[in-house]
């Protein structure tokens, strides 16, 4: 069994409810735990594997809430740091036309510093870099790159999800692309949305984008395509692994459930690298991850919508 170590942000999503419009007009905000790498850690844990989350929250009641939430999910929280800065808050409101109004109050997540005690745990681990905020300014940026180097040195299995958020990179996409490339090069597996695949490769087909990422160095490319499933590219073979049909009501965290489920499957194999040789052997794992993503779309929220192993035993 390999431990899955997820690095990045854990934050509060304040989601405007009972109202459609802008953040300025909204009155009721519901407090939810957020942060893609934290969602992935919870997904892994719910699917019966062992996850550790490393990230920073504030020494305030929101930080307490977040740390407690991850602990209650069974995630190893011993590498959560408490910063003097306030916990990072993201506010989201949707207009009736579905337009997103987003405001980000960056705080403690940026303060993550490297902890040398984490490095020995990289041995035989799977290290997932799935942060949406790590390429912004702050100590996390350097910490993230430091941990990438350490994971490579320890020959950990490295997973990368760029988690591009257009709201955070409106005028500076080039910086996002530039900073993502070393992660793609160093990773054994990368998960992209279609938008990310095209943005980061500069190509406009799945096939070309995947080939570009292989040239950079990654072995396995998964491009997740919502209800259609996942385009998978490995070792010269490419295929679409279809998802299952569900009635989707909220796609939040579907991608996190997908990568968490894929990692949880890989974590059970002693010789993971053998699985990363053959598309035939890997496809059932991707199908399982698709099912986890599909399951998550059937209810509202992020962590609360993620499946447990028993939820995926029978058809959805
Ligand atoms: P992201 O949230 O990163 O954009 P997706 O929305 O593509 O990721 O979802 C990840 C995976 O979850 C998809 O590849 C697919 O297998 C599954 N999934 C997502 N939405 C649906 C849906 N509406 N119906 C069935 N499966 C879905």
Tens-binned pLDDT, residue by residue, of the chain (316 aa): 899 999 999 999 999 987 678 999 999 999 999 999 999 999 999 999 999 999 999 999 999 999 999 999 999 999 999 999 999 999 999 887 777 899 999 999 999 999 999 999 999 999 999 999 999 999 999 999 999 999 999 999 999 999 999 999 988 999 999 999 999 999 999 999 999 999 999 999 999 999 999 999 999 999 999 999 999 999 899 999 999 999 998 899 999 999 999 999 999 998 888 889 999 999 999 999 999 999 999 998 899 999 999 999 999 9
Assigned domain for 80 exists? yes
213 alpha carbon – ligand 1 mean position (Å) = 21
Assigned domain for 314 exists? no
Assigned domain for 262 exists? yes
Assigned domain for 205 exists? yes
Assigned domain for 8 exists? yes
Report, in angstroms and rounded to the nearest whole number, the Rg of the chain calculated over CA atoms: 18
Predicted pLDDT of residue 95: 81
SS3 for 108? helix
CATH code at 113? 3.40.1190.20
Rounded CA separation 35/11 (Å): 6
Assigned domain for 272 exists? yes
Beta strands in 171-250, from DSSP E residues, in sequence order: 189-193, 220-224, 230-234, 237-241
Assigned domain for 315 exists? no
Pocket residue to mutate for ligand 1, from 164, 254, 260, most atoms within 8 A of Cβ:
254
Residue of 288, 234, 243, 244 lying closest to 264 (CA atoms): 288
HSE at residue 311, side-chain half, CA atoms within 13 A, is 20
Closest-CA residue, ligand 1 atom 7, reads: 226
- Please state the domain count of the chain: 1
The burial class, CB within 10 Å (0-12 / 13-18 / 19+), for 165 is middle
Output the ligand 1 site: residues, CB below 6 A. 193, 224-227, 229-230, 243, 246, 248, 251, 254-255, 258, 290, 293-294, 297
pTM of the prediction?
0.97
What distances in angstroms separate CA 258 from CA 138, 140, 185, one per listed residue?
Answer: 29, 25, 21
Range of the domain at 245: 4-309
Structural tokens at position 188? 């054994």
Assigned domain for 316 exists? no
Pocket residue to mutate for ligand 1, from 34, 132, 294, most atoms within 8 A of Cβ:
294
């Amino acid at each position: 069994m390999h431990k899955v170590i997820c690095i990045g942000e854990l934050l509060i999503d304040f989601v405007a409810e009972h109202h459609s419009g802008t953040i300025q007009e909204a009155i009721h905000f519901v407090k939810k735990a957020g942060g893609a790498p934290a969602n992935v850690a919870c997904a892994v844990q719910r699917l019966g594997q062992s996850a550790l989350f490393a990230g920073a929250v504030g020494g305030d009641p929101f930080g307490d809430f977040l740390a407690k939430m991850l602990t209650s999910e069974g995630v190893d929280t011993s590498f959560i740091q408490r910063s003097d800065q306030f916990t990072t808050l993201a506010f989201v409101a949707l207009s009736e036309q579905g337009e997103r109004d987003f405001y980000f109050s960056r705080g403690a997540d940026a303060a993550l510093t490297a902890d040398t005690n984490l490095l020995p745990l990289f041995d035989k681990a799977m290290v997932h870099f799935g942060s949406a905020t790590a390429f912004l300014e702050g100590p996390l940026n350097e910490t993230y790159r430091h941990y990438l180097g350490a994971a490579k040195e320890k020959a950990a299995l490295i997973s990368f999800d760029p988690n591009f958020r257009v709201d955070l990179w409106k005028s500076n996409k080039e910086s996002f692309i530039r900073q993502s490339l070393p992660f793609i090069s160093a990773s054994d597996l990368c998960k992209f949305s279609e938008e990310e695949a095209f943005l980061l490769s500069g190509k406009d087909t799945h096939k070309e984008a995947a080939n570009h990422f292989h040239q950079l160095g990654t072995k396995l490319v998964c491009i997740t395509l919502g209800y259609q499933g996942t385009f998978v590219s490995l070792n010269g073979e490419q295929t679409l692994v279809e998802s299952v049909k569900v009635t989707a009501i909220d796609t939040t965290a579907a991608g996190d459930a997908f990568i968490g489920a894929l990692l949880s499957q890989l974590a059970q194999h002693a010789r993971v690298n053998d699985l990363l040789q053959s598309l035939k052997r890997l496809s059932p794992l991707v199908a399982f991850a698709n099912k986890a993503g599909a399951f998550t779309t059937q209810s509202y929220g992020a962590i609360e919508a993620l499946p447990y192993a028993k939820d995926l035993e029978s058809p959805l």
